[in-house]
Structure 1
């Protein structure tokens, strides 16, 4: 009985969390006249994609979607690679000053983006990378890798020494040990980091807003924020923009849900 009560509680909580998404989806397929007449909670008479099509064409959403995928995917891959290399040196290699290096990474994770925006703007402007996707990829790779390094270092600090010794006996050097032993064993954790890095970067707004001023380079959150700030959308188009903005992240999460589940389960078992 207790188990069923817990399951029902989780189901009710999940349904409650889906209510805002349902309201947004409902209003996205309404006409402006239906929204003005019946309000945001009424059911539409039919499915109207006018708001979705108008928003897609107005902001060239396909281009913004491509920019977000390129930036988020590149950051997720590069940040995982950098995190693994750093954590391998700190967690397994036990380099000198390991504790202080981890403190630096921890401090980097606590700095607000508002404190970083002017130095990053000045630096990217000086090196000629301002208003380029490359600058955003490099910056967020460093930011995400700081968290990944801090997390993976503690994980690899408890890596089974028997496996490392066995690889060393078989003649593997440090690079071969990393690629053939450490990475395969740590794959569930790396999968979790990859998913989180992608979604976190996808949802970033402030730094891309400052560093990507050209319309051709803007990401999905920046395009949504700029257009809403100009007050160029009605309620149905606003709902359509919110729906289109969140669907890709949800789809990515669902595609990689198995990797996320395996990583969390592996951490719990360990």
Structure 2
């Protein structure tokens, strides 16, 4: 007696062959004139962006005499490393590099976590007055840093954190998390309620919902914020210049600007300092380029 499964399943000894998967024809899309125009404009814009970086690299390995004789656009006749060595030793570049890495890394991680907590309470927790809170955060992002200098200077002077890297870390964590909260609250506001209700019915607490449901789905957006917060904090100049007075606490941008006022500075050393200040962020961006691309193209929560 044959079963229903045996009737449906083809026998191997019957000579039946498995159907081959269908191969869909490749669709070749021809580029239109508009596509070529956009590509040409993108290449031109990329060249304009790359020209300053190329000039910095060329003049960093050029001697002052070579620069005076051939100008800034000519290639160096001989590789000249004294400009990089002079800047490296004059400002103690490893110390400034470590300060910038610590400040930018701590600010990026802390600002992302604080933004996620705030946005989770505003976008998903549905606290009262959330609209006014988001508006207040948006207005706080519009306040220029110059207006914050004296109140922050007075406050950190009173608590004994002036000329301390933690003062800059606290300031930038609050500033960056304000933007992150505004961005994530709009994303979390469109989070599917069915998924949250299903997790709640399974017995998950709010803390578990945050780390097991919300965090994995919004990981791409959080990664983009982490990269931007690191680069933005690295390039900040005014607040570190104001709150980090001693030489041992200064960051790379502050060290470059302070050194440019030295009478012994030349163009090649200035280019070398700009190159050394740019390379860490460029390397960081190249390492996390795929993460940034995936986070931007991921879009909102599906």
Shorter-chain-normalised TM-score: which range? Answer: over 0.9
- Displacement of 1:190 in angstroms is 0.3
Give the root-mean-square deviation of aligned CA atoms.
Answer: 1.2
Q: Which residue of 2 aligns with 1:66?
A: 98
Match of residue 23, structure 1, among 55, 62, 72: 55
The answer to whether the aligner puts 1:193 opposite 2:225 as a matched pair is yes
Matches within 5 A, 1:243-262: 243-262=275-294
Q: Which consecutive unaligned segments of at least 5 residues does structure 1 have? A: none
The answer to whether the aligner puts 1:160 opposite 2:196 as a matched pair is no
Q: Which consecutive unaligned segments of at least 5 residues does structure 2 have? A: 1-31
Q: Deviations over 1:103-151 (max 9, x none)?
A: 1111110000100000111101100110111111011000000000000
Q: Deviations over 1:34-53 (max 9, x none)?
A: 00111111111122211011
Q: Deviations over 1:31-90 (max 9, x none)?
A: 111001111111111222110111111000111000000000000000000000000000
Q: How far apart are the structure 1 equivalents of 2:193 and 2:261?
A: 55
- Displacement of 1:231 in angstroms is 3.7
Matches within 5 A, 1:112-123: 112-123=144-155
Greater relative contact order (CA < 8 Å, ≥ 6 in sequence): 1
Q: How far apart are the structure 1 equivalents of 2:44 and 2:143?
A: 37
Q: How far apart are the structure 1 equivalents of 2:245 and 2:140?
A: 26
Question: How many residues get paired?
Answer: 270
Structure that is richer in helix per residue: 1
Q: How far apart are the structure 2 equivalents of 1:230 and 1:48?
A: 21
- Displacement of 1:268 in angstroms is 7.0
Match of residue 206, structure 1, among 215, 238, 242: 238
Q: After TM superposition, which residue ranges in structure 1, 4 or more long, deviate above 4 angstroms? A: none
TM-score (norm 2): 0.87
The answer to whether the aligner puts 1:93 opposite 2:125 as a matched pair is yes
Q: Is this contact kept in 1: 2:56–2:271, CA < 8 A?
A: yes
Larger Rg: 2
Matches within 5 A, 1:35-50: 35-50=67-82
TM-score (norm 1): 0.97
